[in-house]
Chain A
Amino acid sequence: MGAGRIWSNEKVARVAKQVVQLDRVVIRFAGDSGDGMQLTGDRFMSETASFGNDLSTLPDFPAEIRAPAGTLAGVSAFQLHFADHDITTPGDVPSVLVAMNPAALKANVKDLPRGADIIVNTDEFTPRNLAKVGYGANPLEDGSLDAYALHPIALTSMTVEALKSFDISKKDAERAKNMFALGLLCWLYHRPIESTLEFLKAKFAKKPDIMQANVAAFQAGWSFGETTEDFSVSYEIRPAEQPPGTYRNITGNLAVAYGLIAAGQLSGLDVFLGSYPITPASDILHELSKHKRFGVRTVQAEDEIAGIGAALGASFGGALGITTTSGPGVALKSETIGLAVSMELPLLIVDIQRGGPSTGLPTKTEQSDLLQAMFGRNGEAPVPIVAPRSPADCFHAAIEAARIALKYRTPVFLLSDGYLANGSEPWLIPSVDELPDLHVAFATEPNHDGEYWPYLRDPETLARPWAIPGTPGLEHRIGGIEKADGTGAISYDAANHDLMVRTRQAKVDGIARDIEPLEVDDPSGQARVLVLGWGSTYGPVSAGCERVRRKGLDVAHAHLRHLNPFPANTGEVLARYDKVLVPEMNLGQLNLLLRAKYLVDTIGYNQVRGLPFKAQELAEVIEDVITS
């Protein structure tokens, strides 16, 4: 185990142990916030992606940055589902739990099915740590885990032992225990290891001792799996069949950021982000701030209101103005969104929804801002809403939101959520040539008898012209006071106000003609029950429907990407089915809109636990609706 040797799969022959084929596995890595569980999960994901399994991930971390060590509040977890077939969720229940301390075990064991594998770090199961989380007796010894396949491993001390020849501190050696665990899991599931070795080389390029120690710990974990009798079998999961092409893994927030940069490139407009840090949206601000060479300007504003104000000011000047936030931030931005509705300027409001109300659950997911996006303003202030369905779809949804904003001169909501933001999936990278052209023609000439009328609309889209400062002869003033139709001059006229309110509504309603119809997935064509979802529930709803179909039942699934306006055929689709089930991570917000607009007796299924739906529970609910 020379410290300088770089280790690779080719150099390690496996001894003869039984290999079992599996079609899917769900692993949950859980430990203290400082144990590096997100990194461990991330590396395992990268190896799994490059191996060719389909996968889906769900990080789950505490709101506290550094909760007290060893406590339940400080447990950080990363769940990864990978399979030899197409999957859409990070998995309902883990088949394997890696618990780095008693708190991680206690917080997660209740989610495990009987027979699941539990790998625990016995070094952390000290009387003090057990007492900290309320274990009266050591669960590793009192028989309470007899229903599981328990693998007690002294991860910390074995790591330290493996690294004793290195000139590093005991603390640094202990810190490498997550790499030991990763190595063991890589052995257990036949993961390729190159990407992790590359990663460690790059990450610790300036600290060769630490780099070599981490590589050695990773290798020691792998070798431990190979030699220990505790693991008599290892598992293979064949690559999934996927459409050919080049793939990468991507989280929802990264995909939003890339989608926004793409929208700037596709429209030829400079991207301007005005934003205030807020969980779980801040990563988009961080990401966009890195890409100045694309002409992206980011202003970290003094508050949420200033963030959207600056974005709207930039839009007035001809930029693609964007603000990113979460629910509490949207509440603060409402008045400015109303101003954008009145001034009819393009603006993107990216809302990464989290648990509410008020501060709520900042790191958890929810779909409870739909009605806020729809109605959360004074006056009649319609705003189009686009909701991505998966992490990778955030890229395309961001481009679609920009398309609508630019074409119709309107603020648009992009409603993502914490689950999409931090979750990831493989993404077939699109060719830039296939992306839509978003180019905008600014007004350059007077449009009415030698004058410029800022509210003289395009008869088809009802969009007004966009004349930006610097254009001679088109000087004009706009604002939040009601404007006269056409001229845009201040008007308090009753009939004009009625006309303008109805026209702004008609403009947004008319977008229904310019979006894709609602598609229904009904493989048998015999379904009498439709499950209608929106946004991030796409994965669990698809998986739930699939389970129901495997039992021989018929069910149709449709998923709304446009929440305002709804696709033109929505009413017709709803009318086709005897029953319509609407699962949402809120108390029935889409359900309320559907019932109000289409007068259908839709059935809500609602959860607000801060976590995504489980496929199995949805399957049971769908089955109930079909058979009742």
Chain B
Amino acid sequence: MSESVDLGLPSLALVPKADAKQSAKEFKSDQEVRWCPGCGDYAILAAVQGFMPELGVKRENIVFVSGIGCSSRFPYYMNTYGMHSIHGRAPAIATGLSVSRPDLSVWVVTGDGDSLSIGGNHLIHALRRNVNLKILLFNNRIYGLTKGQYSPTSEPGKVTKSTPMGSVDTPFNPVSLALGAEATFVARTIDSDRKHLTAVLGAAAAHPGTALVEIYQNCNIFNDGAFDVLKDSDTSDDSLIRLRHGQPIRFGVDGAKGIASAADGSLQVVDVAEVGEDALLVHDSHAENPEIAFALSRLADTWTLANTPIGVFRDVTRPTYDALVADQLAQARAKQGPGDLADLIAGKDTWVVT
């Protein structure tokens, strides 16, 4: 429970380092994994367990906190400290833990219903505060645990048990929402692309402050194939835009397509052969102004997932909430010294009865 203050240091600066190199196996708990066979969560779990040793911090200083939903079973399968809490509240609970324990690496696992519906308020406030949390948002665009109702990311018109004539809701775009909520780190990745997923986890883990990682995750029971267009090699080239910091944004077969600014300031898909590579937008995830990141988040088509960017949309540094709180404590002690209980309760206005 150290109170040393180091504004803007990388995320894990205050977390004790592991004594020896760890293996993925050490991060597997003794609990039997109980997701439906074929669920995208298995791939994410394996990727996270495989990634954990790269953190290089003591296992006992890692905590996974979740809410309710299929994805929220995740902490049970990690051999770290963990809490499976209540629906939507994981970011709030994790905020208290992270703020009071800067020596911990705190991860939140949540789903599209958990974080964007019942827990929407806590998610946006964690993001604006920039609490040192890594939030993994498993987005399968459906309610799985309650057996198949539409979610706040389901496409309009979605026919489910609760929407037999089609959903009339407009969905959230989680990346747009996070950027609007003053997030300092926002990324998107896909359950089946282990390499990309691991790379994004690495960037999120290094980020001081709240990192939101949207992970497209297949629910093979209630919304099977929701992201196939991004996964099938026949279609993915044309649909998937891989964002790389400092690189011109190109996609499509042989990188034939690119993203460029239109005259009205919005972004558009262009033919590279026609406009030339110099006309393309160079991705800058560190741009202070989130406007271009937001424009990138709007490229994807809600229904067809055409032009879906993945990778790190935004990664900027702002003092973390945790560090600012710790700094005020340190300042108060530096100015006034440690508190004395007897002085405190006596106050300044006393009288003596003899």
Decide if A and B are genuine partners. Answer: yes
- B-contacting residues of A (Cβ < 8 Å)? 46, 49-50, 52, 195, 242-249, 258, 261-262, 265, 270, 272, 274, 291-295, 297, 299, 301-303, 305-306, 309-319, 321, 335-336, 338-339, 343, 395, 429-432, 469-481, 489-490
Report A293 CB to chain B, min CB distance, Å: 4
The answer to whether A310 and B31 touch (CB under 8 A), given A270-B1, A432-B341, A472-B58, is no
The answer to whether A318 and B1 touch (CB under 8 A), given A46-B349, A247-B350, A313-B93, is yes
- Contacting residues, chain B, for A315 (C-beta < 8 A): 96
The answer to whether A258 and B346 touch (CB under 8 A), given A245-B353, A270-B1, is no
- Contacting residues, chain A, for B259 (C-beta < 8 A): none
The answer to whether A469 and B101 touch (CB under 8 A), given A293-B337, A310-B92, is yes
* CB-CB contacts below 8 Å: B61-109 with A: 61-63, 65, 68, 75-76, 78-86, 89, 92-101, 103-104
Taking a contact as CB atoms under 8 Å apart, the answer to whether B344 and A244 are in contact is no
CA distance A375 to B16 in the complex (A): 43
Taking a contact as CB atoms under 8 Å apart, the answer to whether A302 and B122 are in contact is yes
The answer to whether A336 and B104 touch (CB under 8 A), given A261-B344, A293-B339, A479-B83, is no
Tell me, yes or no, whether B354 is within 8 Å of chain A by CB. yes
Contact residue among A46, A292, A297 (Cβ-Cβ distance under 8 Å from B99): A297
The count of chain B contact residues (Cβ–Cβ below 8 Å) is 63
CA distance A312 to B100 in the complex (A): 11
Tell me, yes or no, whether B336 is within 8 Å of chain A by CB. yes
Taking a contact as CB atoms under 8 Å apart, the answer to whether A470 and B61 are in contact is yes
Beyond the given A258-B345, A302-B92, could you list 15 further A-B residue pairs with CB under 8 A, ordered by the A residue number?
A49-B351, A242-B353, A274-B92, A294-B341, A309-B92, A313-B92, A316-B63, A317-B101, A317-B104, A432-B342, A469-B104, A470-B61, A475-B79, A479-B83, A481-B84
CA distance A482 to B58 in the complex (A): 29
Tell me, yes or no, whether B33 is within 8 Å of chain A by CB. no
| CB-CB nearest in chain A for B351 | A50
CA distance A243 to B97 in the complex (A): 44
Taking a contact as CB atoms under 8 Å apart, the answer to whether A297 and B100 are in contact is yes
Taking a contact as CB atoms under 8 Å apart, the answer to whether B84 and A478 are in contact is yes
Report A291 CB to chain B, min CB distance, Å: 6
- Contacting residues, chain B, for A473 (C-beta < 8 A): 60
Taking a contact as CB atoms under 8 Å apart, the answer to whether B99 and A299 are in contact is yes
Taking a contact as CB atoms under 8 Å apart, the answer to whether B104 and A470 are in contact is yes
| CB-CB nearest in chain B for A272 | B100
The answer to whether A246 and B339 touch (CB under 8 A), given A297-B99, A313-B93, A470-B60, is no
Taking a contact as CB atoms under 8 Å apart, the answer to whether B328 and A292 are in contact is yes
- Contacting residues, chain A, for B352 (C-beta < 8 A): 244-247
Taking a contact as CB atoms under 8 Å apart, the answer to whether A248 and B332 are in contact is no
Taking a contact as CB atoms under 8 Å apart, the answer to whether B101 and A477 are in contact is no
Ordered by A's residue number, 14 sampled pairs between the chains whose C-beta atoms are within 8 Å are A52-B353, A247-B351, A274-B92, A274-B96, A295-B329, A299-B96, A306-B92, A309-B92, A309-B93, A313-B93, A470-B60, A475-B82, A476-B81, A479-B82
CA distance A336 to B96 in the complex (A): 13
- Contacting residues, chain A, for B265 (C-beta < 8 A): none
Tell me, yes or no, whether B333 is within 8 Å of chain A by CB. yes
Contact residue among A46, A299, A305, A314 (Cβ-Cβ distance under 8 Å from B89): A305
Tell me, yes or no, whether B245 is within 8 Å of chain A by CB. no
Tell me, yes or no, whether B235 is within 8 Å of chain A by CB. no
Report B73 CB to chain A, min CB distance, Å: 9
Taking a contact as CB atoms under 8 Å apart, the answer to whether A313 and B345 are in contact is no
The answer to whether A336 and B86 touch (CB under 8 A), given A195-B349, A249-B349, A310-B93, is yes
Report B162 CB to chain A, min CB distance, Å: 22
CA distance A274 to B92 in the complex (A): 10
Report A362 CB to chain B, min CB distance, Å: 22
- Contacting residues, chain B, for A336 (C-beta < 8 A): 86, 89
| CB-CB nearest in chain A for B94 | A313
CA distance A50 to B80 in the complex (A): 58
| CB-CB nearest in chain A for B98 | A313
Taking a contact as CB atoms under 8 Å apart, the answer to whether B350 and A429 are in contact is yes
CA distance A472 to B68 in the complex (A): 27
Central interface residue in A293, A305, A338, by most chain B CB within 10 Å: A293
The answer to whether A244 and B125 touch (CB under 8 A), given A469-B104, A470-B101, is no
Taking a contact as CB atoms under 8 Å apart, the answer to whether A480 and B86 are in contact is yes
Contact residue among B80, B103, B104 (Cβ-Cβ distance under 8 Å from A475): B80
Contact bitstring B1-43, A, C-beta under 8 A = 1, else 0: 1010000000000001000000000000101000000000000
Report B348 CB to chain A, min CB distance, Å: 9
Tell me, yes or no, whether B163 is within 8 Å of chain A by CB. no
- Contacting residues, chain B, for A195 (C-beta < 8 A): 349
- Contacting residues, chain B, for A262 (C-beta < 8 A): 341, 345
- Contacting residues, chain B, for A292 (C-beta < 8 A): 328-329, 331-333
